Structure 1
Amino acid sequence: MHNSALPPQRVPAGVLAGVTLWRLAVATCAFTGGRTHEPRSPWLRGATSVLLLLVCVTFLGVIEGGLDDTWSLFEHLVTPLVVLVDLVAVGRSQANVRWWHPLTWVVFPAAYLVYFIAADPGLYGSFLDPDAADFVGVVAAFLAAFLAAVVAAGYVLYAVLKLKTAIAHAASPQTQWQPAQQWPGQPAQWAQPRQLQYPYPQQGRRP
C-alpha cells in the first residue's frame, strides 16, 4: 500500500520509452496489416538523414561533445548512423531522388536553428549564445557555413543514392526479346516477338 505521506514514485524514463515504442509498433502493425509501405519519394528520409548527420558532426566536431553517457551515444552517433544506413541500403525509392532534393533538405536544420535562437534553450554551453556581444557576427558566419555544409552533405547523399541505383540496375536482369515460333501455315505477321519479363521489376523504373 502506498504511503500518502511519501511522494509518488516516478516511472523510469527507460520504461516509458519502451512501453511507448511497443505500443507504436502494435498500432503500426494493426494499421498496415503487417505489410511494408515505402514512400515513393525518398525526400523525407533524405532530409532526416541530413539533419541527423549535421547533429552528429556538430556535436562531435564543433562542440567536442562526449559519448560517455548512453543517451548521448544513441542520440549523437547510433541514431544518425542507423538512419543513414536505412536511407542508403533499405528499400528501392532511392532511385526517385531528384537533383533539387538536397537544396530543400535544409528545411529541417534551418527550422531547428531558428527555434534555437528564438527559444534560447541554453544547450551546448556558449555555442550560439544570444547574450554574447558578437552574437550577430557569429550567427551570420555560422549560417553561411551551416547552409553550405547542409547542401554539400545533401549532394554527397544524392551521389551515393544515384550510385546505388546504377549498381542495382547493372546487377538486375534485363528484359530480353525472344522470337516467337511460326507454325506451319501461320502468316508471318502473326509471329511477333515475345517479351520475356523477369519476375522482379527493375528498380527505379515505373511500368
Structure 2
Amino acid sequence: MTSSTPRARTERALADLLATEGAQAITVARVRATARVDQALAAEVVRQWRDTRRTAAGDPAFVPATAEETHAFEALRAVIGQQVLAGRAHQENTLQQVVKAATEDADQAHRELAELVEKLAREQAATAEARALLAQANAELAALATDNKRLRHQLHTQQHTLEVAQSQAAEARGRLSVFEQWFTQQTTHTPITPAPHAIIPPEQTPPSPTS
C-alpha cells in the first residue's frame, strides 16, 4: 500500500517532477505546490535531495549506475510519467463530463418550462393564481436561460483548458525526450578515474529543451 503521509507525498511529488521535467524543475515552490504540503517540509525534502546529488557528484569513489540500475530507473521514470499524464487526462475528462451533464440537464429543464409556459398561455388563465403561476414560470425560465448560457460558456472554457493541458503534456513529453537523450549520453559515457589531487569537474546539467 502506498504511504499517504505528508513526507511520502512530498518525495513522490519530487520524483514526479524529476521524471517529467528534469532536475531544473526541482524547486521548493514547485514541490510544495505539487505535494500540497507546508513550506518547511518541502524545503527539507528538496535540501536532502540536493545534498545527495552534491555528495554523489563530489565523491571520487562514486560508481556510475550499472546497466541493471539504469534499466530500473528508466522503467520507473516511464511509469511515473505515464501515471502523471493519465491522471491529468482523467481529471480533464471527468470535469468535461460533469459540465456536459449539467448543460444537458439545463437544456431539458428549459424545454419543460417552455412547454409549461405555452400551455398556460393557451389556456389564458383569468384568475390571479393562474397569472401569478405564469409569471413565476417565466421568471424561472429566464433564470434557467441565464444558467444555460453560463454553463455553455463554462463548457467552452473547459474545452479551451483541455486544449492547453494537452499542449502542456506535449511540451512535457518533448522535455522528457530531451532529458532521455541527455541521460543516455551520460550513462553510456565511460567514466574516467580521476588522478590523485585532480580537480573534479562540476556535475553536468541536462541540456535545456530550448537549446
Which protein has greater RCO, CA pairs closer than 8 Å, 6+ apart?
2
Report the structure, 1 or 2, having the larger helix content. Answer: 2
Task: Please give the TM-score of this superposition, normalised by the length of structure 2.
Answer: 0.30
Task: Please give the TM-score of this superposition, normalised by the length of structure 1.
Answer: 0.30
